A and B are shown apart, each in its own frame.
Chain A
Amino acid sequence: MANYFQSFDLHPQFDIELGALEQRYEQLMRLCHPDRFAGAPAFEQQVAAKRSADINEAFDVLKHGVKRAGHLLELKGVDLDKLERQPASPDFLFDQMMFREQLQAFDSLSEAHADALVEQVCSAYACTEAKFAELFESGDITAASASWVEFHFQQKLKDELVRAQSQAGR
């Protein structure tokens, strides 16, 4: 299992500074991009292409909250595929369904109602994110895994919200 934190010379933890991550990404690409090996023998270009694809993959995972969280769990030996199939608690799923129903009718919501929904979805997301970070840092991997399942759901909900917002032109 590749360790993406190691690729970026970062300590494996959930809270990372995105600006610093971005800077490091750019620094790494400047070193490894195949264009930097123009005129070099084919085998060196091959290594450069492979390495920069790896860096792109690592950056993609690290900059994205849920993917970064999942990667941290994987590094602790958690099987993410299995986790993705695990159901969340009935209460949580009920809340999710309520949110989803409102999102489907996003177009027809009054502005105040829509704003309130956006606020609710975003704060629920932030809450789950903070919960995961705390549980993971405390070393309770089982509890962190359970909260990742919710985090994963919240991300999908947030993605849908963004889509609904853009479709409604808000």
Chain B
Amino acid sequence: MLLQISEPDSPVTNQRVRKRGLGIDLGTTNSLVATKSEQDALVLKGPDGTALLPSVVHFGDQVTVGNPALALAESDPGNTVVSAKRLMGRAREDLSHIQLLGLEDSDRLAFDTASGPKTPVEVSSEILRALSERAAAVLGEPHEGVVITVPAYFDDRQRQATRQAAEVAGVNVLRLLNEPTAAAVAYGLDETIAESSVVAVYDLGGGTFDISILRMEQGLLRVLATGGDSALGGDDFDAVIVDWLQTQWSLSEPTHSQMRQLLMTARRAKEALTDCDTVSVDAPNSVAPQPSCELSRERLQALSQSLVKRTLDACSNAMEDAGVEQVSEVVLVGGSTRMPLVRESVADFFHSDPLCSINPDEVVALGAAIQADVLVGNGDGQEALLLDVIPLSLGLETYGGLIEKIVPRNSVLPVAKAQEFTTAKDGQTGLVVHVLQGERERVEDCRSLARFELSGIPPMVAGAARILVTFRVDADGLLEVSAREEITGTETHLVVKPSFGLSDDEVATMLRSSQQYAAEDMQARQLREARVEAESLLHGLAGALEADGDLLSVHERLGLDGEVERLLQVLDADDVDVIRLRADELGQASLAFAERRMDKSIKAALGGVAVSELESLD
């Protein structure tokens, strides 16, 4: 069905069985999985009765995830990976000294474990797999796909790395959803927030900070601006406490094991200060014998003032980008917002008592579950539409190490922007396209996403060639770049892959060797998937033709029927490639029809007469 809005009661909708979608909050410190049933979204608990799965993975004789792994974090720090999210899509030079502890000494970031090097992507995939298995065990049924949340301020490389982790885990990703947006969805369903209000979501997690300013309206949730710091979170509060403890205990160069214990000690002290004014901190056994020391709330406040200020500065910038002077509600998300210091500072800044009626640890996963339910196809077209934005500008390197911005930050997704460039020298036949993300003017201050070469430009005088570079960012916030030399038609196209992630081959190998697929023949699985997809295409097209067949001429209809026939002929054969090829051909042949249907529905909705065909950008 093309437009459910125009035919809400079509028999196709009514016959559809409810599908299962999952929402996963893949956090720095803890992760969760949630799902939506008829009415409510709920988090799924593990066998130990808790919903929070510590984002900790131990690589020993076997892989353990969560609390059992956390129990080993202090005794076996070398084989236990914590806070892997902070390293997703990052390069060695982005990391601090503490973060480099326990990493393999290679260009690619990988933890040096007894089971060999483990990349952050692999570690995250273990967490995703554990949550997906938990859901299967609790629900007793398979799921169709997951919505995974990411910090709004994640750049393209971090998003790609997250998607890759899901691929390695064999999980079908419906969407990468920004964490603050997910939280707003949960509050939207909850109807806590009145319609037509501007809301700030302040999300301080274990390793990331996001601020999003949104407008919530009937059936629509629009992100106006987003900002933050993808390397600022509760971990940094722990680190300032560790620094202080090191001074107290005169530890100048702690070992990896001491450092791990200090971090755990610091975190416990920080958490205790949520309810008490002072805590007595005992030296962990690897540091003992040292006297215990007193840590007061005031002391912590003094130590972490600059961290809180960084978050509030980001809030000011986001308000300015959103063009709003005040907000009607502030929502707190993330475990670190439990700190009284954070809570009070946020309340002061926004002149508003923050909302936290939904558990700040769970709210993101709940929102993701609600969106997953819509994206697996359980929606009726009445649910709120999310319009999200890209957090950081995208651009290209131009002459002199400067960046030409092509997609400005806070552009609404999906977005497609094209810009023309030309050659700088006479007879230049190649052009290096260097894609960057960030707000600064100079190349070295922004994150390099990809570099590719467009060759085969015919020799011309400088400035004569016309090279059109197009950036497309989809609803997941993922970028695709293509470059085309207009005179010869030379074209290059790429999806940006994380340069420090895994290659496609590595992902395929891991998938094949992972337990989930060991028992199942990959070939059979692929064939089944290809058939299901082809059948859904045929079914959808049949419905569309029945409703709007009059939009096609007799000739066009015959052509399309021919393509349908060609697909039907191969559907029962066992050739995956042929089924996919024919389905793809049918899809391509149906594009014009789909566009006409969309025009028709737009025309009907606007009730206007002037709307003819909407012309496209390219």
Contact = CB atoms under 8 A, between A and B. Distances in A.
Interface string A28-58: 1111111111111111101111111111110
Contacts of A38: 174, 374-377, 379
B475 A34 contact: yes
Nearest to A38: B375
A166 interface: yes
Interface in A4-42: 6-7, 9-11, 24, 26-42
B541 A6 contact: no
Nearest to B595: A47
Interface in B559-618: 587-588, 590-591, 594-595, 598, 601-602, 605-606, 608, 610-612, 614-617
A35 B386 contact: yes
Given A7-B614, A30-B385, 19 more contacts: A9-B606, A9-B608, A29-B385, A30-B5, A30-B220, A31-B3, A32-B598, A32-B602, A34-B414, A35-B375, A36-B4, A38-B379, A39-B536, A41-B536, A41-B540, A44-B2, A53-B472, A53-B617, A56-B415
B146 interface: no
B99 to A, nearest CB: 33
Given A6-B611, A9-B608, A38-B375, A52 B414 contact: yes
Given A27-B605, A57-B415, A2 B617 contact: yes
B411 interface: yes
Given A40-B1, A46-B591, A57 B417 contact: yes
B562 to A, nearest CB: 16
Contacts of B174: 38
> Number of contact residues on A: which range applies?
35 or more
Contacts of B4: 36
B377 A44 contact: no
Given A35-B374, A50-B616, A57-B416, A41 B379 contact: no
B2 A57 contact: no
Contacts of B376: 38-39
A104 interface: no
A123 interface: no
A9 B610 contact: yes
B377 A39 contact: yes
8 contacts: A1-B615, A6-B612, A31-B3, A33-B475, A35-B385, A41-B537, A53-B414, A57-B416
Nearest to A40: B540
A54 to B, nearest CB: 5
Interface in B370-385: 374-377, 379, 381, 385
B587 A2 contact: no
Find the residue from B1, B3, B536, B594 having the highest chain A CB count within 10 A: B594
B441 interface: no
Contacts of A31: 3, 5, 598, 601-602, 605
Contacts of B412: 56, 59
A42 B587 contact: yes
A59 B598 CA distance: 18
Contacts of A11: 610
Nearest to A9: B608
B348 to A, nearest CB: 17
A46 B480 CA distance: 14
B116 interface: no
A47 B610 contact: no
B594 A47 contact: yes
A51 B475 contact: no
A166 B317 CA distance: 9
A3 interface: yes
Nearest to A60: B411
A1 to B, nearest CB: 8
Interface of B: 1-5, 174, 217, 219-220, 222, 320, 374-377, 379, 381, 385-387, 411-417, 472, 474-475, 533, 536-537, 540-541, 587-588, 590-591, 594-595, 598, 601-602, 605-606, 608, 610-612, 614-617
Contact of B416 (A10, A27, A35, A54): A54
Contacts of A27: 605-606
B590 A43 contact: yes
Given A33-B387, A46-B591, A56 B381 contact: no
B414 A43 contact: no
A61 B142 CA distance: 45
Contact of B387 (A2, A29, A166): A29
B591 A43 contact: yes
A53 B219 contact: no
A31 B602 CA distance: 7
B541 A49 contact: no
A34 B602 CA distance: 15
Nearest to B603: A9
Given A29-B385, A51-B614, A54-B617, A40 B591 contact: no
A125 to B, nearest CB: 17
A42 B538 CA distance: 11
A33 B385 contact: yes
B445 to A, nearest CB: 18
A46 B590 CA distance: 11
A42 B537 contact: yes
A6 B417 contact: no
Contacts of B591: 43, 46-47
Contacts of B595: 47, 51
B381 A36 contact: yes
- Interface-central residue, A24, A41, A43, A60, by most chain B CB under 10 Å: A41
Contacts of B590: 41, 43-44
Nearest to B592: A47
Nearest to A53: B416
Nearest to A48: B598
Contact of B385 (A36, A39, A59): A36
A55 B615 CA distance: 10
B278 to A, nearest CB: 36
Contacts of A40: 1-2, 540
Contacts of B588: 43
Nearest to A165: B320
B380 to A, nearest CB: 11
B614 A6 contact: yes
A47 B474 CA distance: 12
Nearest to A56: B412
A38 B472 CA distance: 20
Interface string A109-123: 000000000000000
Contacts of B602: 28, 31-32
